[in-house]
Amino acid sequence: MSSRPAISIRSVSKRWTPEGRAPVQALSNLTFDVAPGEFIVLLGPSGCGKSTLLYMIAGLEDVSGGAIFCDGEPVTEPSAERGLIFQEASLFPWLTIADNVAFGLAIQHEQPVRRREIAIEMLKRVGLGDMLDKKPDELSGGMRQRAACARALAMRPKVLMMDEPFAALDVQTRSRMQDFLLQIWRDSGACVLLVTHSIDEAISLADRVVVFTARPGQVKTIVPIDLPRPRQSRDPRYHAYRDMFTELLADEVERAFAEQEAG
Ligand SMILES: Nc1ncnc2c1ncn2[C@@H]1O[C@H](COP(=O)(O)OP(=O)(O)OP(=O)(O)O)[C@@H](O)[C@H]1O
């Protein structure tokens, strides 16, 4: 196995300069690596730049300073190797689920018959094999997120990025989706970067949790989760992690609030 990081984030900063408004320093001097096949969770107070970092890794936004490398190559534009999934599954409402999954494969120059085959295979893998010809609004929120996962996985990404993918789901569906995600992560061999506000989600899923400071976001600390999967919330070590993250975040959340109040 190659020892080269799947993703290398080197002294990355991001300054937004919205028209007619004061510039916002979203991220400052961020440095860390993600190993191939690793599951990373990004945890931090609101507005610390977690989503911004995903957009930059996806190649949808430029960095203001520093550089991001994927497999040793600088990220300069979007690529099918780096899939991004949002909180609300961004499926085309007028296409069937199978056509939604097949859509991106056209860019990869797959033939139409092969696109359909891959779409069916992926949808079966996410448990939607009998929903192929449904439109997105005929599915539940959890099913739509699974379809969005199938669409991203169909591109065989090396990196799967997820921005609060389960935040809009009810507790039971969320828990099932977490199990499902661990399964597709293992099957795909991709590395995952997942943004969440949930400490429990971070402990349940991550190999390592990157904790951000309040804006401008920096790496406050990186915590490896040294617990076997499936992780049990009744395990005393799980509680110790929960206490640790609660404490780590408390100061930062307070700082973020203070800054908001100061305007
Ligand atoms: N397109 C943009 N233009 C201007 N400012 C932006 C833009 N996108 C994000 N920002 C600002 O950058 C900062 C970081 O935003 P970002 O959404 O990355 O944070 P986050 O940690 O993902 O927040 P949350 O947890 O609330 O989703 C915020 O102050 C936000 O207002």
For residues 75 and 183, state if they share a domain: yes
Query: Is residue 2 pLDDT above 70, yes or no?
Result: no
Query: Which residues contact residue 92 at a Cβ distance below 8 angstroms, ignoring those fewer than 6 apart?
Result: 99, 100, 103, 136
Would the CB of 69 count as within 6 Å of ligand 1? Answer: no
For residues 187 and 258, state if they share a domain: yes
Which of the listed residues 125, 156, 187 is the one where a domain comes to its end? Answer: 156
For residues 68 and 172, state if they share a domain: yes
- Cβ 256 vs Cβ 47: under 8 Å: yes
For residues 170 and 251, state if they share a domain: yes
In this structure, the number of other CB atoms found within 10 A of the CB of residue 56 comes to 23
Q: Choose the residue to mutate in 52, 60, 161 for probing ligand 1, maximizing ligand atoms within 8 Å of C-beta.
A: 52
The atom number, within ligand 1, closest to the CA of 55 reads: 18
Which of the listed residues 108, 130, 156 is the one where a domain comes to its end? Answer: 156
Q: What is the pLDDT of residue 105?
A: 86
For residues 103 and 178, state if they share a domain: no
Tell me: the pLDDT tens digits for 156-178?
Answer: 889 999 999 888 888 888 888 89
Quote the ligand 1 centre to 78 CA distance (angstroms): 19
The atom number, within ligand 1, closest to the CA of 52 reads: 18
For residues 96 and 224, state if they share a domain: no
- Whole-prediction pTM: 0.92
Tokens found for residue 150: 């199938």
For residues 103 and 118, state if they share a domain: yes
Tell me: the pLDDT tens digits for 51-109?
Answer: 999 999 999 999 999 999 999 999 999 998 899 988 777 899 999 999 999 988 887 77
For residues 67 and 137, state if they share a domain: no
Query: Residue 263: which CATH number?
Result: 3.40.50.300
For residues 66 and 102, state if they share a domain: no
Which of the listed residues 116, 132, 156 is the one where a domain comes to its end? Answer: 156
For residues 20 and 149, state if they share a domain: no
Domain assignment of residue 121, given as a range? 88-156
For residues 189 and 144, state if they share a domain: no
Q: How far is CA 22 from CA 6, 51, 137, in A?
A: 35, 20, 39
Would the CB of 26 count as within 6 Å of ligand 1? Answer: yes
Quote the ligand 1 centre to 262 CA distance (angstroms): 17
pLDDT band at 3 (very low <50, low <70, confident <90, very high): confident
Tell me: the pLDDT tens digits for 168-205?
Answer: 888 888 888 898 889 889 988 999 999 999 999 999 99
Q: Which spans in 22-134 are helix H? A: 50-58, 97-103, 112-125
Compute the distance between CA of residue 214 and CA of residue 212 in angstroms, rounded to an integer. 7
Total number of domains in the chain = 2
For residues 77 and 179, state if they share a domain: yes
Compute the distance between CA of residue 174 and CA of residue 201 in angstroms, rounded to an integer. 9
Burial tier of 137 (Cβ tally within 10 Å: 0-12, 13-18, 19+): exposed
Tokens found for residue 59: 């190649």
What residue owns the CA closest to ligand 1's atom 9?
52
What residue owns the CA closest to ligand 1's atom 24?
46
Q: Choose the residue to mutate in 17, 25, 51 for probing ligand 1, maximizing ligand atoms within 8 Å of C-beta.
A: 51
